[in-house]
Amino acid sequence: MFGSTVLEVAIGLAFCYATLALVVTTLQEALAGAFHLRAAMLEGAVGRMLGDPRCDGLARALYAHPLANPRSGGAPDGARPSRPSYIEPGNFAIALIDGIRPGHASLDAAILAVQDPQLRRTLQTLYTQAGLDPARFQAGVAAWFEAAMERLSGVYKRRQLLVSFLLSLLLAILFNIDSIHLFRTLWQQPALAAQLGAMSPVLNADMLDQMWALPIGWQHFPPALDAAFALQAAGWLVTASTTLFGAPFWFDVLQRAVNLRSTGAKPAPLEARLDGAGVVPVAGVLVPAAAPASAADVQSAALAPAASPAAVPPVAHAAVPAATAAAAPAQS
């Protein structure tokens, strides 16, 4: 029984969490773009892979290569090249091989001339496994870089989860989005969420206006440091933790809850609906029921002459042999 109270509470909470998660995602992407977080993490990972953490040696030469960094534009030696947010593994392999092998030097001598011992050992292992084949060696370097980028992607996602939690906690405190208070208020006044509906996962003014209709915001500031404040802080933590599920999850929950609210009561069975309309089930088939005959109809039927066999409809003739055949085994 999805009564209006339970359903309206679920819709109100899901709408609040979806809107907050969308705001946090927007802020997070804006911060990542403003501070070039992806490019900085990629540069640090490439520097560690190449044994050049300061990115002033081999990593700098790789970033100056047009295949690894098309925006570099062939930057001169004294200028620092731009930092891309993504490098294609195949292009990384070509740029690295060009960086360690200036001119037309042999690949064996170029690998032996690498200064960092860990990088030199890695390249020697890949070259040996490739059977001294330059094409296979290039594919091995690309696979090595792709595996490193998968690990870097996991690190970036974990960091972004922490940033998302901190941003949502800051917004929860700033706008007093207390999940415990929100649940209690919606449970006592479910009409507050009655006007909420399914929204598109795009941040707009209408969504923010509907969110302000919910019981959020400060009424008394600063709050008193008592037991009620401890419960309020717990509500902030619950609100902040909900954004870890992501905005798509809460929008999907909201859509399902709204669809469930718009669904009416379960319709009655077909036989029950047709029974009152002069239809009865006969041998598993619904056929029109005979209307009750009046006294005048009974008297006129008694005075009417008997119908001749020719007047019997063909359906009646077909039914007689079938009934006879069905009764024959029982008599035998």
266 located within any domain: yes
309 located within any domain: no
Average pLDDT over residues 13-30: 90
| Predicted pLDDT at 92 | 95
| Predicted pLDDT at 70 | 82
Average pLDDT over residues 190-195: 71
Kindly indicate the confidence band of residue 149, based on its pLDDT and cuts at 50, 70 and 90. Answer: very high
Q: Which residues pair with 281 in a beta bridge?
A: 286
* N- to C-terminal Cα separation, the chain: 57
Tens digits of per-residue pLDDT, 139-148?
999 999 999 9
HEC states along the chain? CCCHHHHHHHHHHHHHHHHHHHHHHHHHHHHHHHCCHHHHHHHHHHHHHCCCCCCCCHHHHHHCCCCCCHHHCCCCCCCCCCCCCCCCHHHHHHHHHHHHCCCCCCHHHHHHCCCCHHHHHHHHHHHHHCCCCHHHHHHHHHHHHHHHHHHHHHHHHHHHHHHHHHHHHHHHHHCCCCHHHHHHHHHHCHHHHCCCCCCCCCCCHHHHHHHHCCCCCCCCCCCCCCHHHHHHHHHHHHHHHHHHHCHHHHHHHHHHHHHHHHCCCCCCCHHHHHHCCCEEEECCEEEECCCCCCHHHHHHHHHCCCCCHHHCCHHHHHHHHHHHHHHHHHHC
Residue 19 CB coordination number (10 Å) = 22
pTM for this model (two decimals): 0.66
Kindly indicate the confidence band of residue 154, based on its pLDDT and cuts at 50, 70 and 90. Answer: very high
Q: Return the higher-pLDDT residue of 161 and 2.
A: 161
Tens digits of per-residue pLDDT, 195-243?
665 555 666 666 666 667 777 888 877 888 888 889 999 999 999 999 9
Asked whether the predicted pLDDT for residue 1 surpasses 60, the reply is no
| Predicted pLDDT at 215 | 78
In which domain, by residue range, is 103 found? Answer: 1-289
Q: Return the higher-pLDDT residue of 273 and 232.
A: 232
Count of domains for the chain: 1
Longest dimension (CA), the chain: 123
306 located within any domain: no
| Predicted pLDDT at 187 | 85
116 located within any domain: yes
C-alpha 239/C-alpha 166 separation (Å) is 11
10 located within any domain: yes
| Predicted pLDDT at 332 | 38
Query: To the nearest whole percent, how much of the chain has pLDDT over 90?
Result: 38
Average pLDDT over residues 118-144: 94
305 located within any domain: no
304 located within any domain: no
31 located within any domain: yes
| Predicted pLDDT at 220 | 78
Q: Which of 300, 295, 202, 297 is nearest to 251 (CA)?
A: 202
C-alpha 59/C-alpha 22 separation (Å) is 37
As a whole number, the mean pLDDT across the chain is 78
Tens digits of per-residue pLDDT, 83-116?
888 999 999 999 999 989 877 678 888 999 899 9
